[in-house]
Amino acid sequence: MTEKEARILQRGLRSVLVVAEYVAQEPDADLWDEEDVYPLVEFTAEHSDRWEYVIKQRAAPCEIPTMPKLPDLDHPRIQSILDLRYPSAGILEVDHFYNAAMIGAKHERKACMRIALAIDAKSAMAFPPQVGAPEESTGNMLQQVVLEAIEAKGALPVEIHVLNREFKIVLDPLAEALGFQIKVRDSLPALSFAKNEMEAMLVHGG
C-alpha cells in the first residue's frame, strides 16, 4: 500500500466511525431514506484529540458516459491475415473479465488478473487467451485475442458476439479492416462455460 492509499483508507475509516457514532446518538435518524442519496462526511478541521466535521446529504454522482479508448490497430498483422485470404467460417464469442488470481513478480505489488477470451460458438473450442495487468487497454486485449483466434483457426469469423456495446465499439475498427460483423448478445453460452471452467482451474490450481 502506498502512503497516498493509506491516507485515503484512513479518511474513509474515520468517516465510517463518524456515521456510526451519529446513528448511535440519533437512532431515529435515517441517512439513507432517499433513493440515490447518501451521507457525505466533510472534515472541517483536525486536531490531535478530535475531529471537526459535518454530515451532509448528497445525491449519488451520475455516471458520465465516455467513449471507450480504441485500440491501435496492428496493421502489419492485419495485412498478413488479408494476404493469406482466409475463408470465412463460424462465429466467435469474445469477452473480457477480471479474475481473482493475482499476478506480479516476487517483490512486486500483486494485481488482479485480466483475461480476454475467444471461443468458437459451435464447438466451444477455446483459443489462446490474453492475460494482462489492470492498466492494460481493454481494446488492445480484445484485438489481440481475436487476431490469435483467427490465426489459430486459419479462418475469419462470420460474426463476433460480445456482451456489451463498449466491446463492440472497440472491436469495430478491426471488424471493418477484416470484413466481419460485431453483434451484441444477451448471453454467450459457449464462452460462459469456458469461463467457468477456466476460473475453477485457476482457483484449484492456486
Q: How far apart are CA 117 and CA 130, in angstroms?
A: 7
| Residues 155, 89 contacting (CB under 8 angstroms) | yes
| Residues 67, 93 contacting (CB under 8 angstroms) | no
Confidence grade of residue 112 (pLDDT, cut at 50, 70, 90): low
Mean pLDDT across 144-149: 95
Domain made up of 75-205: CATH architecture: 2-Layer Sandwich (3.30)
Mean pLDDT across 110-133: 85
Helices (H) and strands (E) in the chain, counts: 5, 7
Boundaries of every domain in the chain: 3-59, 75-205
Of 29, 27, 2, 31, nearest in space to 16 by CA: 31
Q: How far apart are CA 54 and CA 32, in angstroms?
A: 16
Indicate the average pLDDT of the chain.
Answer: 86
Residues 16-73: tens digit of each pLDDT:
998 898 889 988 888 888 888 988 998 888 776 777 888 888 888 887 767 778 889 9
What grid cell was written down for 186? 444477451
- Please name the residues in contact with 176: beta carbons below 8 A apart, sequence gap of 6 or more: none
Q: Which residue has the cell 463498449?
A: 166
H helix intervals, 27-185? 75-83, 138-153, 165-178
